[in-house]
Structure 1
Amino acid sequence: MLELLHIENIAVIEAADIAFRPGFNALTGETGAGKSIVIDAMGAVLGGRTSRELIRTGASHAFVSAEFSGVPADLPGLAEAGVAPDENGELLLQREIGSDGKNVCRANGRPITVAQLRRVGSELLNIHGQHDGAQLLDEEQHGAYLDRFGRTEGVLTAYQQAYGVMADLRGQIRALQMDEAEKARRMDSLRFQIDELERANLQPGEEEELTARRNLLRNGEKYLGALSGADYCLNGGDEGGGAVEALRAAETSLYSIRTLGDDLMELYKRLENLRCEAYDLAETIRDKRAEFDFSPAELDAVESRSDLLYRLKKKYGATVEDMLNYLEKCREELDAIETADDTLSRLEQQLQAAEKKVRAAGAELTQARRAAGAVLEQRIQQELRDLDMNRVRFAIDFAEKEPSPDGCDTIRFLMSANVGEDLRPIARIASGGELARIMLALKNVLAEQEAVGTLVFDEVDTGVSGRAAQKVAEKLAQVSRRKQVLCVTHLPQLAAMADTHFSVEKGESKGRTFTHVILLDREARKAELARLTGGTKVTPALLESAGELLDEAESYRKNL
């Protein structure tokens, strides 16, 4: 459960520590005092979307931390983030939001990403906002609610895999289905490109060889002059001379004294090696000079080939290898078009088999959903009776549809608000208060199947009053015996039912607005309940009524 929420520089909250307790925790306060800011801070530390506007004016960053207890070591998301609770099962989540948009997230001091924080946070705490009821008006969400309740993930995954195969086959068939005129145009284009590339007779690596040869031919005279000069220095001219001859003469001079000492022998060997190396070098230079054949015609041919490659690269690829790959793709596409009829026949047979698998998987998914739907109807109906909606009927309608990524069913939640009225879509019949209670019922049923230990309700009592408000308060008290409940409310019935009551108060100091979160004792709770009931004018009668409300709530909680 959530033990401690620490907030720094979030909107009008400069600093606040809220020590939540087990059971039912309520937060009340004037409109605009900052109750929803506390919820925003919770969302931020759980990896929710944030913006720089959330940072308090004049501050360089905002910071939120949340300390949880009783966290299992195998909580989903922890292992992926490389994090584990401490030996007491405690986990500290932290998030710092900078004015430059950067975020720093940590879990038990270890840096993690926002995505990892969101994954872990979703397993620890659920926030149900005051606008969640609007999701019930979106019939596309009804199937998702049912799948969550029925835990149909395995069957749904199998269906989606079969549907993916079918969709892929349909895409391949569409790609092959073109009219004859379009097919002829495409085949002509492919044949022209294939012919042009094949006539070029491209060879891997030839561009680099051409570039090197062209540079050599363009500098032919300079190349020959350099080799001739080096050859003359090493081998001499017709009259002799040259470095090789000089080294040989020096070697001959030392030959007769080489045995007179080790140092002379070493000197002779060095001179011999030098002469051999010079001789090999001279022969190599002579061979290069002899084999170089400078021809203006060859230079023209190399220039022409390079120009051809340049023009082809502008159309078919940045390198010769890219153009060869493109040529192969053109051949494959042309072959596919020429054999399209045979391929279409084969794909259509595969598609028929794939469609049968989709229908079978869809039927299995529908069966699982209908079974889950029957149970969900009963559970919702029971929850609605607990919420003083005895005359409301709730049902789940299934209608067959063509296979789509989410199945072969159109799922809608229907209700009848009064006796004798037909079941109709919730969007057409539910009032604001009814919508809030139906959503609360649905959230309670879904929460029973989830491991999340803390549920946060942000003004889910919107549109609810009187006896209905009392029933909502009792329902939240019941839920709080299984899970920790945090509730932002304006209703005295809900606030009185809480085990722990916090007041969010706004004030001014030195020209700045500040929000404080205060834990209320019994007398302070009476005053706050009286304010919720009667507004700014708190009378002794209202205080007495508030005390009675607290006594009744305490008596109800003791009997749970």
Structure 2
Amino acid sequence: MLKELSIKNFAIIEDLTVSFTNGLTVLTGETGAGKSIIIDAIHLLAGGRGSQEFIRHGAKKAELEGMFIIDRPDHPVFSKMADVGIESDEGTIILRRDLNENGKSVCRVNGKLVTIAILREIGASIIDIHGQHETQELMDEKQHIHLLDQFAGSTLEKAKESYQSVFRTYKKLKREMASMKESEQQIAQRIDLYQFQTNEIDDASLRIGEEEELYEERKRLQNYHKIYESIANAYESLNGDSKGLDFIGSAMSELEDAATVDEQIVEHSATVSNAFYSLQDTAFSLKSSLDSMEFEPERLNEVEQRLAVLQSMKRKYGASVEDILIYREKIGEELEKLINRDERLQVDQQKIHQLEQDLEVEAEELTILRKKAATELSKAIHQQLKELYMEKATFEVHFEQRSIASLDQTGADAVSFYISTNVGEPLKPLVKIASGGELSRMMLALKSIFSKHVGVTSIIFDEVDTGVSGRVAQAIAEKIASIATHSQVLCISHLPQVAAMSDQHYLIQKEVEGNRTVTSVNQVVGEKRVEELSRMMSGAEITTATLQHAAELLSNAEERKILDK
């Protein structure tokens, strides 16, 4: 649910913080007081379109922040946040949006900068705003099939997963076949290119690790004279007359003599003896190396040429020898497919035909399950409409079957909601309903059903009760309160019946302070609530009769809420 909303320098709101609770919260006030501004702020927090016109006059930016508490660990919003690297702290989600005077927006989710698209995706998972004239999910015909599937539940979900698995295989194979059915000229050109490239890579006889070995060998060849001179000097220092080995040999003899009479010298004598013989072996190895060393300028040229070949291959086919060999394997497979494409096409065509048959079976199963769910949905909607005094209204889920060529991830069904609000009138698409009062009731009926399935935590109604009165107004109030039993509902309303059913009531007022207009929000409780309901009934003049009526309306509403529980 939306726990707290903070608004700064937004329209006529200078600085405002409002806390919300579960259940139904109603916002009331005179026309123009700023009720819809609060909904506009929430809409922008959910990723709605914004502009610098929202910024309060004289301010450089508007700041909006909302704290949401989601108590369902499996709520889809958390997976969406995880996909973009956003962590959640014990189910708390903080959406923030700053509107700058240059028209740019800065968006954050739990402190992490995000794009407006990500903010919109996350916001849509937890907030559903519906105004009388605003197109929402229920008024988007493309969404009707998803709503029906959500209503159908887990049985259809399993069938859809099975269908989608076959559909993905089918689409992948279709793409591969389309790629193979290029023009003969293009295919011939690709075959020539791949053959040239495979031959060139094969002729190069590449070996992993060869390049590193060549660099080491080139380094030795380029420094031949320096290496030879150093080894020669080292050998002379060890094995020359009156050099290292002679002195160490003398030391070894002296210590051996001393060790015959003093056991404490034995260890030192052994250490020097080992060093002498080890250095003697090293000297012999150095002499052998000197005798075998030979300057080979031709070999240096060979190494340079081989390195040049490797560099050329890397420029063409990959950043390393390993990458080149991987590319060689890839184009080798592609070349084989192209050369044997006729046989491959024939085999794939048979696979396509089999997959099409499988898809028809899977799609038919989806259609059966959807039509069964549609029947149940229609019954539920009719019951909701009856409770809203639209007994004559007829609701129906309309199906159209698509061909195999037009299948998509959802199957073969094109689903749309149809309704007739009056006897004798034909069923028409829901999106074409024009009557404000009927539209409000229809939307509430649908919300009552789908709000249990769509997963949003905060549903916002912006004056959806416009154009109704009397018993219909009472029915709408009870229906909104019913929706609020399983989702938080924020509602802007002019109906006292709706306000009376609220769990939390805020009065929005517009005042002038220091030659500036500001909007204030105050919670209405106790006798003040009776007074506000009375004002909503009679307008500016509050009478004893309207106060009595308001108190009675409030008392009846409390009794209804107790009975509903």
Task: With the length of structure 2 as denominator, give the TM-score of the two structures.
Answer: 0.80
Aligned length: 532
Deviation at 1:363, TM superposition (A): 0.7
State how far apart, in whole Å, the 1-side matches of 2:335 and 2:250 are: 73
Give 1:174 deviation, angstroms.
Answer: 1.9
Verify the 8 A CA contact 2:447 2:483 in the aligned structure 1.
Answer: no
Name the counterpart of 2:460: 457
The 1:60/1:411 distance shift into structure 2, 3 A limit, reads closer
Question: Is 1:206 equivalent to 2:205 in the alignment?
Answer: no
Q: Distance in 1 between matches of 2:232 and 2:138?
A: 92
Q: Distance between the aligned counterparts of 1:407 and 1:169, measured in 2?
A: 18
Bigger mean CA deviation after superposition, 482-491 or 288-297: 482-491
Question: Quick check: 1:154 aligned with 2:154?
Answer: no
Aligned to 2:146: 144
> Where does structure 2 lack aligned partners over 5 or more consecutive residues?
81-89, 99-104
1:112-164 deviation per Cα after TM superposition (whole angstroms, max 9, x unaligned): x99999999999x7644326654344211111121121223222222212211
Q: Show the counterpart of 1:428.
A: 432
Deviation at 1:343?
2.1
Displacement of 1:501: 2.7
Please tell me the residue identity of whatever aligns with 1:339: N
Contact kept, 8 Å, 2:537 with 2:546, in 1: the verdict is no
1:182 to 176, 180, 186: 186
Q: Deviations over 1:264-309 (max 9, x none)?
A: 3333223212212221222232232223221121111111111111
Residue of structure 2 equivalent to 1:279? 280
Change (3 A) 1:299 1:466: same
Partner of 1:258: 259
Letter in 2 for 1:202: L
Counterpart check, 1:504 vs 2:508: yes
SS for the counterpart of 2:412 is strand
Does 2:246 correspond to 1:226?
Answer: no
1:66-110 CA-partner distances (Å, limit 9, x unpaired): 678xx68x76579999xxxxxxxxx8836374979585749xxxx
1:169 to 156, 169, 173: 173
Q: Percent identity?
A: 30
CA RMSD, Structure 1 to Structure 2 (Å): 4.1
Secondary structure of the residue aligned to 2:509 is: strand
Write the letter of the residue equivalent to 2:271: R
The answer for the alignment partner of 1:466 in structure 2 is: 469
Q: Which runs of 5+ in 1 are unaligned?
A: 82-90
Distance change (3 Å), C-alpha of 1:295 and 1:25: closer
| Cα deviation, residue 254, structure 1 | 3.6
Distance 1:127 1:201, change over 3 A: closer
* Between 513-522 and 410-419, the greater mean CA deviation after superposition: 513-522
User: In the alignment, which of 386, 410, 418 is matched to residue 414 of structure 1?
Assistant: 418
Identify if the C-alpha distance between structure 1 residues 119 and 337 changes in structure 2 by more than 3 Å, giving closer, same or farther: closer
Shift of 1:410: 0.9
Match of 1:293 in 2: 294
Alpha-carbon separation, structure 2, partners of 1:356 and 1:92:
45
Superposed, 1:76-155 pairs within 5 Å as 93=92, 95=94, 97=96, 103=108, 105=110, 127-130=128-131, 133-151=135-153, 152-155=156-159
Shifted more, 517-526 versus 94-103: the winner is: 94-103
Residue number in structure 1 paired with 2:87: none
SS in 2 for 1:440: helix
Q: After TM superposition, give the deviation of residue 425 of structure 1 in Å.
A: 1.8
Q: How far did residue 486 of structure 1 move?
A: 3.8
Secondary structure of 1:167's partner? helix
Shift of 1:190: 0.9
SS of equivalent residue, structure 1 residue 391: coil
Summarize the Cα distance change of 1:194–1:104 in structure 2 as closer, same or farther, 3 Å threshold. closer
| Residue equivalent to 1:28 | 28
Closer, same or farther: CA 120–415 of 1 in aligned 2, 3 Å: closer
Where do 1:238-249 residues align within 5 Å?
240-249=241-250
Q: In 1, Cα distance between the equivalents of 2:278 and 2:517?
A: 90
Native 8 Å contact 2:534 2:542 kept in 1: no
Work out the CA distance in 2 between the residues paired with 1:246 and 1:479.
102
| 1:327 matched residue in structure 2 | 328
Q: Letter of the aligned partner of 1:444 in structure 2? A: S
